[in-house]
């Protein structure tokens, strides 16, 4: 099993071979090829979403800067700006997942969990406490806890 090193630390990885380029059945081989091209199209589309997201961040910043009072942000404005930034960063993480899926035979479980953690962190950052129920808050807390424990367990070196 291959291991990907990150800053001198060995991270556990799972190997995947769901879409092998070689297969004894020519139909399955062609279908795998089609799916690989579809994933490449998704990667291109994700780059377009990232670029669009960057323009959205610029637009949000510009509109908040010129809104009266000029050059001053209210707390709600800061949450909107943080949300715009986080969406672009999540899109970048998803692109990295797609690229790793295409470029290696390593399934980046820790990166997928980290992306999910970033998405739920975005939700928590822009959360309006006055509009959320206690059950929704407990649900978010359970998701954060489960993802955090999963990230920790996946990142532990094999004993």
Is the model's pLDDT at 3 over the cut of 70? no
- The residues spanned by each domain of the chain are 26-107, 109-158
Q: Residue 4: what pLDDT? A: 46
Predicted confidence at residue 72, as pLDDT, reads 85
Q: pLDDT per residue over 112-138, tens digit each?
A: 898 999 899 888 888 888 889 999 999
pLDDT per position as a tens digit, 136-150: 999 999 999 999 999
The percent of residues above 70 in pLDDT, for the chain, comes to 84
Q: Report how far residue 138's alpha carbon sits from residue 98's, in angstroms, rounded to the nearest whole number.
A: 31
User: What confidence category does residue 12 fall into, taking pLDDT thresholds of 50, 70 and 90?
Assistant: very low
pTM of the model: 0.73
Query: What would the mean pLDDT of 26-39 be, rounded to a whole number?
Result: 86
**Whether the predicted pLDDT of 14 surpasses 60:** no
Q: Is the pLDDT of residue 103 over 50?
A: yes
Q: How far is CA 88 from CA 46, 49, 81, 94, 115, in A?
A: 10, 8, 11, 10, 12
């Amino acid at each position: 099993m291959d291991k990907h090193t990150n800053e001198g630390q060995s991270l556990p990885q799972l190997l995947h071979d769901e879409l092998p380029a070689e297969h004894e059945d020519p139909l399955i081989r062609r279908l795998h090829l089609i799916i690989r091209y579809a994933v490449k199209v998704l990667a291109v589309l994700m780059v377009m979403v990232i670029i669009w997201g960057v323009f959205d961040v610029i637009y949000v910043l510009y509109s908040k800067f010129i809104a009266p009072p000029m050059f001053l942000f209210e707390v709600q404005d800061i949450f909107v700006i943080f949300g715009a930034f986080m969406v672009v960063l999540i899109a970048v993480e998803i692109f990295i997942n797609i690229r790793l899926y295409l470029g290696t035979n390593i399934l980046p479980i820790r990166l997928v969990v980290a992306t999910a953690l970033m998405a739920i962190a975005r939700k928590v950052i822009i959360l309006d406490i006055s509009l959320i129920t206690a059950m929704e808050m407990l649900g978010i807390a359970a998701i954060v806890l489960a993802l955090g424990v999963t990230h920790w367990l996946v990142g532990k070196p094999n004993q």
